[in-house]
């Protein structure tokens, strides 16, 4: 399906390979918060096509304090949040290309490099 492929491409090649890798090197909490927001919205987007899988994943996703969602069926469909747009932040991110991010991840996996914090 085209829609599921677009969401998959976003998660793998934009969110994970580039954004999360770059941001997690500098701001771990921000990376976790962004990942949570993207997963939550992504499950809602995919629910129309994969209801049982997304329901299970959504229920297993740890919730933010104060959130009490019992089922994805009762949640609102995601809408665009213009307040999330930050042109300056996009300019300030370190200049890793998608290819460099993939190479970095491959190196960590091949050599079992552990994160030091």
| 9-18, 26-35, 85-94: segment of lowest average pLDDT | 85-94
Kindly state the average pLDDT of the residues 18-35: 71
Q: Of 50-54, 74-78, 94-98, 105-109, which has the strongest mean pLDDT?
A: 50-54
And the tokens for 83? Answer: 């307040």
Domain boundaries, the chain: 2-77+86-110
d(CA 23, CA 27): 6
Please report, rounded to a whole number, the percentage of residues in the chain having pLDDT higher than 70. 64
Q: Tell me how far apart the alpha carbons of residues 38 and 19 are, in angstroms, rounded to a whole number.
A: 11
Indicate the SS3 state at residue 26.
coil
């Amino acid at each position: 399906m085209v829609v599921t492929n677009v969401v998959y491409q976003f998660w793998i090649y934009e969110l994970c390979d580039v954004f999360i890798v770059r941001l997690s090197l500098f701001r771990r909490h921000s990376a976790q918060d962004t990942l949570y927001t993207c997963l939550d919205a992504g499950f809602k987007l995919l629910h129309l096509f994969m209801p049982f899988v997304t329901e299970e994943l959504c229920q297993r996703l740890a919730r933010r304090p104060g959130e009490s969602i019992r089922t994805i069926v009762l949640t609102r469909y995601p809408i665009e949040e213009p307040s999330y747009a930050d042109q300056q932040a996009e300019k300030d991110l370190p200049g890793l290309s998608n290819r460099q991010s993939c190479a970095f991840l491959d190196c960590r996996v091949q050599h079992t490099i552990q994160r030091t914090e």
